[in-house]
Structures are given as structure tokens and as C-alpha cells.
Structure 1
Amino acid sequence: MSKRTLQTGFRAVFGVTPFVYLTQQRMSHAKRLLQTADRTVAEVANLVGYANPAQFASAFKRQFGLSPSECLGHR
């Protein structure tokens, strides 16, 4: 199966590309961790696959409109 065929089929089923879907899932998991676990933003960033906490914070803010630190306050 070609990359293009996979992306087209995936988008038809899920409405987004595989990359966007993966990012959404990672961010949803990160939000749950921030709200429920006693972890730092850097620890959560690492757990969901970001080596750089600043890049994680930018992606998180794009996804949810608030920073990971603000999300910590909603525990």
C-alpha cells in the first residue's frame, strides 16, 4: 500500500491525516496526565514523546488554547 493510499483511506475514515490524528491523541493523553497525575509539564512532555518541553507547550496551546501550566491548575 502506498503512503498516499493510506493517507486517503485514513482521512476518509477519521477525517484527518494520520499525523494530525496522532498529535490529537498525544495531546489528549497529555491533558489527562496533567489533570490527574502528579507530574511536571516536562515529565508529561517526555511521556507523550516530546524531547523538548517548549515544543510540547506550543503544540498543547495550539490544540487546547491554554498552556500546559494552566491545565495543571485544573486538577
Structure 2
Amino acid sequence: MAGSHAGSPKSWLAVVVILAGFTLGGVALCLGPNWPLVWAGVGVIAVGGVIALLVDIFSDVIVDAPRVIGAEKVERKS
């Protein structure tokens, strides 16, 4: 994915798993709190972290050269 900061699908899989665990834990806290579901969410987040380490998510970012945008000449009326 040259020219993009989007990341690869395998990295997005790790992000989606972590987000699902966070959502599960957040909903469980609002439902009582329901502590077994909170800890299940923590477990899902941990699994997502392991996936992130396995797919080497931190080396997935592609850094582009800085973009230079030319300034347009603006005519001001006095």
C-alpha cells in the first residue's frame, strides 16, 4: 500500500479483535456490572494484543515523504 497510512488487512484484524473486546467489556460494565463478561472482554483484548504482536503491527506503517503544497496567490481588494 505505497502512499497510504492505512495498514494491512492482518493488522486491521488485530485492531478489530481489540475493539470487539473493548466493546464487550464496556457493555458488560453498563449491564450491572457483569464481571464475568468484563473479564471476557479483557481476555479478548489480550488475544488481540497477541495477534498484533504476531503480525508485527508496528512495522506496518508506511511513512511518506512530506507533501509540499504550493501556495496560491490571493488577490486582496482594498
Greater percentage in helix: 1
Give TM-score, length-normalised by structure 2: 0.38
Give TM-score, length-normalised by structure 1: 0.39
